[in-house]
Structure 1
């Protein structure tokens, strides 16, 4: 029997620490899929629908409005093609959506905020050129023609909503951390050394430019006092090559001083992804650690961990401009074994499993990527549906993204409400 959640409890006000009551009439069922609204952008060969869904690359609570959350898209529909990516809707603009939940459990898209460059022109999700955050990916249109790069293009993944109405967004290109106005206009872009100078010297350490293509800063959080941004990389850096694939880096960025710190996160196995981080306190966070599998095809991992960075070692080193970051016996951290890291006195963040989405919900989706923190025992979990398309064989042929074991049910960005204890 499915239980019913009546949210008459408290919403976490991440700014003042004072709780905000959630409307008591808001009724949702626990562990049940609620699809986010979408429209069809276009239909291509073989009746494949490309949907203006895609909301789920990151999510965050509205800082003041009850029962509302923001979710963000990534760069737009794309598939692998030659040495880069094919963009079948190449003029798609990454965007933030504001969602509300009505008393009948209907999810409503209240408004969309298109991301724009500093002059107010909508950006695209097309990769950056060399010197601006390039990943080496070449962009192509639906017909296979090469597209021009976009200086301000963003593969947006993490989102933070501030009390002043502005947003911070992290991405997978630079990686960049970008500050946007309440209208989506870029106010500041913070990137690794040598990228987008001229913002008062505020930079991400140079080693973060060693991110792998499509494996950048997947999650972004803010501490409750809104003083420190905290980002997490999706996967192990190419630093200079990837020796192992179970280590990621967490970055803290003090918004007042611009100072940064770095901490290591040890994944449970090889080739997993950290795709979200949410702030609980100045040192405690929730983190998604997942694989890319569908549970309909067999074993899948969609875990949420509580982590604590208070006793972890800052591995920034003395020089944030160092290309390879802190070294251990002349080897990069990514080249070192966990035994060598431990022997160097480096302690990774502590972690504790608090939720297994497959066990709780039978989670059918491959990409768990967003967490809406509702209160101290309730989370809204959101997946990225890739605009309902994917490229199963890596040959550039765009196909409908179907959930295995569902009788041809299209994937859709969806909300699942779960009970947790942390």
Structure 2
């Protein structure tokens, strides 16, 4: 492939030195330049967690489930792992590294165009002990998945505080908010990774006290929970999006698998609102959301295909600009398990025509970036992270699944950037820089 580069962009910032001259103090500001980054992207660093008997590397890696800008330092960003390497085992999961702790990686894009890891922040429970990514037990946001060891026989312990972390927000007070796919939960962590609060759907036991997410979110499709999380620029409101359609009241009852929900949570008051988003194709994934203003956001909508396996024209790795300002709040005042009803049916039991007739307006959307068209190719299956660099520039990152296939293999198999490739090109977290 011919390699081209993205033009150098100048960003105002950030490096300050102080010169004292008698009673005068002067600041000397130095420009930070976004370096030349190949259109084929730059890999994030990784280490090896284990090597199996079949010579499969389980990598750490995994920093691609979400990304967010450092709230102060230009050129720096955070990236999130999910629960760790896991393999579908019927309706259950095998965990090759069962004690892995989900974490945040702190990264910097260097002048030479490479990415440096500054440090890792491991998630901890309220007592300060590291959590795992194993599923929650019944009563705490369980998905029905049972965790198994690689021997396919040993059942692992559930983890009350376990997270399948997928959405990430970094605040100026150096704390973090993280959304997940289990409960789904939204958890607040201090600068060391210690949990300060956990928000769960009403009816789920947890650490959230009187502050809850709407009860209907507990009907999430297992392993397709709250995949994206943003915070408004004034840091007053969290905005989360579900990856896919809720099973409300069950999978068999869903009329249209393009209906997904957005929830807003006022951090000070705990008040919530809900909006609907219409996907381009049924069962697509909404994998990330980032705020541009209090009402406008960038949002990932993607499929799970590889361009090496599928005609590029049929592969979707899109970023949309959405606006919630004129959308209908579909909150249920009574906060019942199945949420607001339309003529006796849940929202997910309705067609879009029925919702329109009922006066329900989804968020508006406009295509901002088609990554395949912009880059010529986007070889990864899981576009999941957006780093907002400036008002028209973003970095995007993929989830590499710790370099292990997550399909129903019942074995730990190396993940490549194709379902058929077996010799080279192990998938890895890769940063691409694009304009929107």
TM tier, smaller: over 0.9
Q: Secondary structure at the match of 1:93?
A: coil
**Structure 2, unaligned stretches of length 5 or more?**
15-28
| 1:391, distance to aligned residue in structure 2 (A) | 4.2
Q: Secondary structure at the match of 2:32?
A: coil
Q: Secondary structure at the match of 1:208?
A: helix
1:306-317 to 2 correspondence within 5 Å? 306-317=321-332
Residue 99 of structure 2: aligned partner: 91
Residue 17 of structure 1: aligned partner: none
Q: Secondary structure at the match of 2:36?
A: strand
Residue 264 of structure 2: aligned partner: 252
Residue 226 of structure 1: aligned partner: 235
Q: Secondary structure at the match of 1:390?
A: coil
For the 8 Å contact 1:11–1:375, the answer to whether it is kept is no
| 1:338, distance to aligned residue in structure 2 (A) | 0.4
| 1:240, distance to aligned residue in structure 2 (A) | 1.1
1:323-334 to 2 correspondence within 5 Å? 323-334=337-348
1:385 to 363, 376, 400: 400
2:225 to 207, 212, 216: 216
2:78 to 64, 70, 74: 70
Residue 375 of structure 1: aligned partner: 390
For the 8 Å contact 2:6–2:39, the answer to whether it is kept is no
Residue 302 of structure 1: aligned partner: 317
1:49 to 45, 57, 79: 57
Q: Give, in whole Å, the separation in 1 of the partners of 2:333 and 2:430.
A: 44
* Distance change (3 Å), C-alpha of 1:305 and 1:22: farther
TM-score w.r.t. length of structure 1: 0.94
For the 8 Å contact 2:13–2:32, the answer to whether it is kept is no
Q: Secondary structure at the match of 1:150?
A: coil
Residue 381 of structure 2: aligned partner: 366
Q: Give, in whole Å, the separation in 2 of the partners of 1:316 and 1:96.
A: 32
Q: Give, in whole Å, the separation in 2 of the partners of 1:388 and 1:31.
A: 22
Q: Give, in whole Å, the separation in 2 of the partners of 1:339 and 1:143.
A: 49
For the 8 Å contact 2:388–2:394, the answer to whether it is kept is yes
| 1:29, distance to aligned residue in structure 2 (A) | 2.5
Q: Give, in whole Å, the separation in 2 of the partners of 1:66 and 1:227.
A: 22
| 1:28, distance to aligned residue in structure 2 (A) | 2.3
Matched, 1:179 2:188: yes
Stretches of 4+ moved more than 3 A in 1?
21-26, 196-200
**Structure 1, unaligned stretches of length 5 or more?**
13-20
TM-score w.r.t. length of structure 2: 0.91
1:162-201 to 2 correspondence within 5 Å? 162-197=171-206, 199-201=208-210
Larger Rg: 2
For the 8 Å contact 2:200–2:208, the answer to whether it is kept is no
Aligned residues: 410
1:280 to 273, 284, 292: 292
Residue 409 of structure 1: aligned partner: 425
For the 8 Å contact 1:22–1:66, the answer to whether it is kept is no
| 1:69, distance to aligned residue in structure 2 (A) | 0.0
Q: Give, in whole Å, the separation in 2 of the partners of 1:300 and 1:408.
A: 22
For the 8 Å contact 1:117–1:185, the answer to whether it is kept is yes
Q: Give, in whole Å, the separation in 1 of the partners of 2:211 and 2:47.
A: 39
* Distance change (3 Å), C-alpha of 1:25 and 1:9: closer
Q: Give, in whole Å, the separation in 2 of the partners of 1:199 and 1:387.
A: 31
Matched, 1:157 2:171: no
Q: Give, in whole Å, the separation in 2 of the partners of 1:116 and 1:148.
A: 17
For the 8 Å contact 2:124–2:130, the answer to whether it is kept is yes
Q: Give, in whole Å, the separation in 2 of the partners of 1:177 and 1:239.
A: 20
| 1:96, distance to aligned residue in structure 2 (A) | 0.3
| 1:153, distance to aligned residue in structure 2 (A) | 0.2
| 1:200, distance to aligned residue in structure 2 (A) | 4.2
For the 8 Å contact 1:272–1:291, the answer to whether it is kept is yes
| 1:398, distance to aligned residue in structure 2 (A) | 1.7
| 1:148, distance to aligned residue in structure 2 (A) | 1.0
For the 8 Å contact 1:115–1:186, the answer to whether it is kept is yes
Q: Give, in whole Å, the separation in 1 of the partners of 2:241 and 2:303.
A: 16
CA RMSD of aligned residues (A): 1.6
| 1:10, distance to aligned residue in structure 2 (A) | 4.4
Q: Which digits, 9 at most, give the CA deviation of each residue in 1:374-416, with x for residues without a partner?
A: 0111110000000001044x13122110112876210001100
Q: Give, in whole Å, the separation in 1 of the partners of 2:352 and 2:373.
A: 30
